[in-house]
Amino acid sequence: MVLHLSLSNVDGAWNETTKQGGVGVIIRNDRGRFVAAAAAAAEVDIVSYLLVEATAARMGLLLAMQRGFQNFILECDSLQIVAALRDTSPRLSDVGIIIEDLKVLMASNFGVYSTHFRRQANSVAHRLARFDFISRSDSNWF
């Protein structure tokens, strides 16, 4: 049996001065072809870039699940978020609550893996996050 893994690339953009952020997601199939993308404004008064990155990871996971993917890799350029997803100890901070939510969602969907990759390889998701950071309107492409 061949396991076809799709990719959900996620990224967040954050402005420390205004405390605003945006998140971007792009999903590709096992052949690298576009399946879906989304960009959304993060909540107001985001206190850290990690909160935006965790929000992007949650959005990427939910979008992939909504599109019916069961076997996919959640790729994130934040090593701290990926490490937290692999850590079994509970986290109770603002970011930790999102991480715990992600762990539950990942456990409920067989075949979901998280991995870290360099920012340079994540240009599309980063541009989507920056786009929404500037436009402040949610967008989806299917």
- For residue 1, the model assigns a pLDDT of 40
Q: What is the helix (H) or strand (E) element at residue 129, kind and residue range?
A: helix 123-135
- For residue 3, the model assigns a pLDDT of 46
Integer Cα distance of 18 and 32 in angstroms: 36
Integer Cα distance of 56 and 127 in angstroms: 13
Q: Scanning the structure block, which residue is given the tokens 């792009």?
A: 26
36 occurs within a structural domain: yes
- For residue 94, the model assigns a pLDDT of 84
61 occurs within a structural domain: yes
CATH number for the domain including 90? Answer: 3.30.420.10
Give how many domains the chain has, as a whole number: 1
Whether residue 122 contacts residue 130, with contact meaning beta carbons closer than 8 Å, is answered with no
19 Rama sector, left if φ>0, alpha if ψ -120 to 50, beta otherwise: left
Domain extent at residue 134 = 6-141
Blockwise average pLDDT, block size 10, the chain, 142 residues: 70 88 91 92 80 93 88 90 90 87 87 75 79 74 82
pTM: 0.87
